[in-house]
Structure 1
């Protein structure tokens, strides 16, 4: 078990008040551990011939330069659309009564409720896809509809002109209130992929990546018709819809999402996670020395003791800078579902201790309300993963991996406590 880094490194250590400077050599040593040789060389150009940092603000400014703070701030401004709370579905495109969760879950509270997405495909000749994960397996119709479709309490997807739907409960495809046998029986956890190809004037559905066949090959594409994802659910049915806010579980060849992926943010995250990993290793090294240090520092103020304290100060500044960036990136659902979960899984495989220390660092450097929000969505993603039934429904290795990661995450004290209080028995509802 690791020693809590928050209580160790945030403690106030009483040293002579006149010792305020930090040797540049100590800063270079810590910077090299976390930012590598490039960071070391960049720092040397910043300090020039200076031997000590006598100004904490100057130290912070230089470390922010090493962490590319200005580039990150510019990135956030350019990619701000990926951090806006834009809904994919709302009541203005709804007939009947439905409930929408912040993570894309849709619940029906009417005998027949129909909703059309705010987002539409672009008439650029491309193939578009969205996914629906089934949290129930009753009567539903999943498909597409144009802006001209007018739904009622009795007419849903597939019962109007220019709307098409698939019902895996009844094994039917629908259009203009005409139903024909189609597809295979769906189950809870199945992921239904819906594709539309205006160039070929066709629509096709997939169950867990397996094609169910083309349902229409003479799609009307004139008079500026625009197609939107649309769903009709019976009472108590509920699904999770993904228009591209998150990675597709079963991406269909040559198709693209309605919501584009945040490529620039993904690339930045992959670079940042390397610094975070080295920061974790540095933190573990400091943790091991802290017990001895706190004893010695009360007896002797040797040069080595003061150097250790300087390392703590340097690391605290770096932690604050890096986790500030990390927190912002985790506001994007795609980053959490693709990059963050993979980072946690790899970290746990390398060393469960490093995963615990990393989570401790997160709770120490990210506000509690944000951490609860991050963990809420993280666990939601893991639950969706767990529910997903893959091609071989007798193979539970995937579910086993999800449970291993969830168990490992909950070994960290703050995560376990807040998950129990704020997530498991409060916010995660299907």
Structure 2
């Protein structure tokens, strides 16, 4: 084995080691392509002299790169400044012990998402600030009455008093479009579900400012109390059933405010390291699963070269990838790295040219092969949480570009069988609200006016010719805008249906269960929990509008599967367009689904109102009686 040593922080290769890479031409090709330096000039020349020539010195090369990542110097400088202006742990979350007697809140396991379970509930974070400029974001899961902002530790909140109702607390409520500090005044813009509200405080100038989706709504408060004894906590108050998710800096801020810092510092060095490694991986991924193709005459050679002189191509590729993942896997445990680096990387390499052999699938093959269980499972959860958050809280554009990008990425991820089955079994319905992927964010009035800039309405018959001509032109523009918006929405719906179809695959039997069986079990549990029977208010339930969207997309996916079966066996199945529910199912007692009430009311009501009609439809009679004969099975009738 070649000998090597560090001298002055530089790996010195022996002559034998220098020749190692050249012995395997495929390895040399891999290393040249993967670690190709994009920069030019002196930096590139230095890089080329230290570039790995074989597996022997690859880990030393990666180690030197990881020791000195080229992170954003401005960001690093900002992280070191004003560190004395903050008190609290490095990881900022909601402190569920802080609400005291101010209502009941349901806090998710990551302690960043809260839902009010009482009339008016208040909770604050576990970190406070007293100097410098700070900001955090609130992503609205609902649009009702909420007061979000800042408070001191001395503020006492009750069932009817929340953030902004005390002297040293300051809040904004976009439902009532008002700001609160003991008294209330008109301020800001009305918010809606899916909005992101940035709460910024300047502890040097004594001001509090709020932003809606990155738009500055103006200074809400000036001359707030500062000095000894005054440190401000992020705090929120929510009316019953209202829901929000806070970002104190655990993931990248969607709308950073210039000059303000998140309460939780970003891992700038780790971000730089992750991008180095992911760039290398992007160069390597085309070689994964490329196959081992050797010239036929090479198999007929009878020289003394041993069979294992050169490892197979797939083995060589996997060995190089193993060195990369040895450095990358620990970084992917951080949710910030997953959202800032991994998701952007996956979006960049996403391709639908060959669905089952895409670079996405190659990437997940490597992840499942080279990451430990606790690493890959934590990464899968962070990936799902961030992807859903990005989808839910992206701005609505006329073409819904961001929503389609994130849905397409989800679809590509679900093409990978092992990932699909793990996410479906453990994450999509257990850790996140998968049904949210089936919902489409509605534009607010301002956005709608941008999507449909020209309005049109019918005019009275007796109008001037010029007015009628102008109105006809407006009609054409209006209808064109509506058609464009409708087409964009339909494009999103098509991807959503494709996602459901991917979860209804029935050809991947593992441990006697297919993806479809797992999906059906999860769906059944989901609809039961959200049925409204014995319903309690907590964050795991979905709004009715989301459930309706889920049901609509599910019907379309079922239609596809139905018609596919019909094509395979037309004698047994009719097409979905010809399918119907047999009439006797509406008065049959054989169906008991989570104690749902039957369509049309209870049996006693059906008996009283429609007894004779139902009996007639069954070809039965009750000899002068209006009693209903219940249909229980094909050959069994019971008198009611």
TM-score normalised per structure 1: 0.79
Q: Provide the secondary structure at the position in 2 that maps to 1:107.
A: strand
Instruction: State how many pairs are aligned.
Output: 382
1:140-151 → structure 2 map (5 Å cutoff) = 140-151=146-157
Q: Provide the secondary structure at the position in 1 that maps to 2:245.
A: strand
Q: CA RMSD in A?
A: 3.3
Q: Which residue is equivalent to 1:65? A: 60
Q: Which residue is equivalent to 2:371? A: 366
Structure 1 residue 260, shift from structure 2 partner: 1.5
Residue 34 (structure 1) aligned with residue 42 (structure 2): no
Larger RCO, structure (CA 8 Å, separation 6 or more): 1
Q: Which residue is equivalent to 1:16? A: none
Distance 1:421 1:294 in 2: 44
Residue 105 (structure 1) aligned with residue 113 (structure 2): yes
Q: Provide the secondary structure at the position in 2 that maps to 1:324.
A: helix
Structure 2: unaligned runs, 5 residues or longer: 1-18, 38-45, 71-78, 80-88, 434-539, 541-640
Structure 1 residue 426, shift from structure 2 partner: 1.9
Q: Provide the secondary structure at the position in 2 that maps to 1:200.
A: coil
Distance 1:85 1:223 in 2: 23
Distance 2:310 2:119 in 1: 67
State the Cα deviation string for residues 89-124 of structure 1 (Å, max 9, x = none): 122322332213317212222222211111222513
Distance 1:114 1:393 in 2: 34
Larger Rg: 2
Instruction: Say whether the 8 Å CA contact 2:155–2:166 is kept in structure 1.
Output: yes
State the Cα deviation string for residues 386-429 of structure 1 (Å, max 9, x = none): 22252x56552221111111112211121222121112222213
Q: Provide the secondary structure at the position in 1 that maps to 2:170.
A: strand
TM-score normalised per structure 2: 0.54
Q: Which residue is equivalent to 1:323? A: 325
Q: Which residue is equivalent to 1:54? A: none
1:139-178 → structure 2 map (5 Å cutoff) = 139-176=145-182, 178=183
Residue 426 (structure 1) aligned with residue 430 (structure 2): yes
Q: Provide the secondary structure at the position in 2 that maps to 1:183.
A: coil
Distance 2:418 2:156 in 1: 49
1:199-210 → structure 2 map (5 Å cutoff) = 199-210=204-215
Structure 1 residue 324, shift from structure 2 partner: 2.5
Instruction: Say whether the 8 Å CA contact 1:188–1:387 is kept in structure 2.
Output: no
**C-alpha spacing 1:199/1:39, structure 2 compared with 1 (3 Å):** closer
Structure 1 residue 32, shift from structure 2 partner: 2.7
Distance 1:228 1:420 in 2: 37
Structure 1 residue 295, shift from structure 2 partner: 9.8
Structure 1 residue 144, shift from structure 2 partner: 0.4
Distance 1:171 1:296 in 2: 79
Q: Provide the secondary structure at the position in 1 that maps to 2:430.
A: helix
Q: Provide the secondary structure at the position in 2 that maps to 1:426.
A: coil
Structure 1 residue 248, shift from structure 2 partner: 1.2
Distance 2:129 2:258 in 1: 17
Distance 1:94 1:296 in 2: 76
Distance 1:90 1:223 in 2: 23
Structure 1 residue 203, shift from structure 2 partner: 0.9
Which of 258, 264, 288 aligns to 2:263? It is 258
Structure 1: unaligned runs, 5 residues or longer: 1-21, 48-58
**C-alpha spacing 1:88/1:256, structure 2 compared with 1 (3 Å):** same
Q: Which residue is equivalent to 1:137? A: 143
State the Cα deviation string for residues 181-230 of structure 1 (Å, max 9, x = none): 22222111000011111233211111111222221112111224111111
Q: Provide the secondary structure at the position in 2 that maps to 1:218.
A: coil
Q: Which residue is equivalent to 2:97? A: 92
